Structure 1
């Protein structure tokens, strides 16, 4: 059986760690790609991972490169390319810069891997995945954003820490945009099948949700010189696995919603069935009136972000 070909665009911390996780799980052969200015850095990281293979016992082939030709005919592409926000840089600066980077990446993907499923990780996530769809012209199910898996993982980790239970016993769902407007769904949050509302007060649950919303910023403040990468890379790997193994995982992803939830043609975090064809189905939950209100606020925030991006790109 032919191995899947997985290309990871951006060989920084998130991209290289994603390559590590994917190789260790033997999900396929891996291409670790970065811009020519990085020179031989992707080759060095790929070689280091290959040298780990006899120890860890994986047979995935890993190639480091700065050429999109090496990524040709990929089955799955993970896009981590972009810049982090720096001192003195406005949110609009980050939005415009990364939108241009994602546009350039999207053009290359369109030319070299027209049948790939594309997982976008670059921030601001909800706008970047929308731009990737626009540039590639791919079917919406073939372009998906990674955020929900990460946000839900943080939520589950914090709940496990609070309750002193295994993370394996916690099921949870978060929806909406990636960031301050994400929407927890209490009716879909349980511990060993027990509703979380029976185990925690509403006040404590709200505090954990707030910590989840700022989970990335908390890590940035602790690291001082970087941002999270272990958990984001693990989240990407779970999505890659669902696609290459056609697992039909029901997980939250930034998916293109048209009539679903009345979104009207934007990417937003919703529960999806993820398989070999990308987003194979969007699950429409029955939300409470409060959840509907919060979800709509999140959708409106995403629409505003995309409008700002479009304005900056056309200026």
Structure 2
């Protein structure tokens, strides 16, 4: 079966709340042909695979089963969600030392298996761990993708659609920078139904201060959810599924991700949140959103914060 033409195989490493939600999201659409779940909790992944396979008659066929790192040898994608979750009051950057050690224990056996596909990273702090994944694996930078600000962008779009009573499908707006405290909204380039966001806001009598409050609420929404229910997982899991589909189906679609910048925004040799063109090669092109001078300064500030943490972690 694994040798059939266009057989799409995905290995999920980490079957916690995000990982299992990702697996469930993958079962809802015919994105892949085989999904292998890897985790240190062996009984859990066996049970999860048995539970998930019962979804198939109601959705689409997907061979889902528990496995090991050796299964990555012929995988198209390895999805990394394994890591210590963020606690209430803890920033994503606080997690770096804990999760970098976990990451190191994963990348080596995956690469030793002969893996030659694409990594998609969601463990936090995701921008730092995405860069570390690329350095530890030695894969080309376009074949390591971070979930980046995909979830933050979804949250921002939801907030805008609610505020302006707009169809979500007409909201074109991005959160850029770190997936975390220094992220920011790109106001200048944002549109709703093809009209500039700032124009829509002015016509609706919504002030910049109100927009800024919405932006801040978006920035801390993850923490708010964690306080209420202990974790966030549906949004990022669905973002990962969407990224997986773009790669496996060679969609050539623009998505917000943690992207390997090489000159965009004046930044180099790091991963940071920005839209990119995604297809079977991974990151086909990193796109640069037009920014105001103030927004460009925010991007540089966010990049500086990430770079400092990455340098400390890798040293």
Q: TM-score, normalised by structure 2?
A: 0.92
Match of 2:153, SS?
A: helix
Structure 1 residue 31 and structure 2 residue 31: aligned? no
Q: Within 5 Å, which residues of 2 pair with 1:199-214?
A: 199-200=200-201, 201-214=207-220
Partner of 2:170: 169
Write out the 4+ residue segments of structure 1 that deviate beyond 3 Å after TM superposition: 85-93
Structure 1 residues 18 and 198, CA gap change in structure 2 (3 angstroms): same
Asked if the contact 1:74–1:113 (Cα under 8 Å) also holds between the matched residues in 2, the reply is: no
* Whole-angstrom CA distance in 2 between matches of 1:208 and 1:177: 18
Q: Normalising to structure 1: TM-score of the pair?
A: 0.92
Distance 1:199 1:32, change over 3 A: same
Structure 1: distance between partners of 2:92 and 2:176? 23
Secondary structure of the residue that 1:265 maps to in structure 2?
strand
Q: CA offsets, 1:23-60, max 9 Å, x none?
A: 2111111111112xx12111111111111211x23111
How far the C-alpha of 1:109 sits from its partner, in A, is 2.0
Any stretches of 5+ residues in structure 2 without a counterpart? 202-206
SS in 1 for 2:254: strand
Please give the residue correspondences for 1:137-286 in structure 2 after superposition, counting only pairs within 5 Å: 137-200=138-201, 201-223=207-229, 226-286=230-290
* Other-structure match for 1:53: 56
User: For 1:287-298, what aligned pairs fall within 5 Å after superposition?
Assistant: 287-298=291-302
Equivalent residue number for residue 306 of structure 1: 310
Structure 1 residue aligned with 2:65 = 63
Secondary structure of the structure 2 residue equivalent to 1:160? helix
Whether the 8 Å CA contact 1:47–1:64 is kept in 2: the answer is no
* Structure-1 residue corresponding to 2:204: none
Deviations 1:266-315 (A, max 9, x none): 1111221111000011112332111111111111111111122124xxxx
Contact residue 120 and residue 128 of structure 1 kept, 8 A: yes
Query: Over aligned residues, Cα RMSD in angstroms?
Result: 1.8
Q: Is the 8 A contact 1:148 1:251 kept in 2?
A: no
- What SS is found at the alignment partner of 2:278? strand
Counterparts of 1:281 and 1:92 in 2: how far apart (Å)? 27
Residue number in structure 1 paired with 2:115: 114
List gaps (5 residues or longer) in structure 1.
Answer: none
Contact 1:9-1:33 within 8 A present in 2 as well: yes
Task: Give the match's secondary structure for 1:187.
Answer: coil
Structure 1 residue 89 displacement after superposition: 8.1
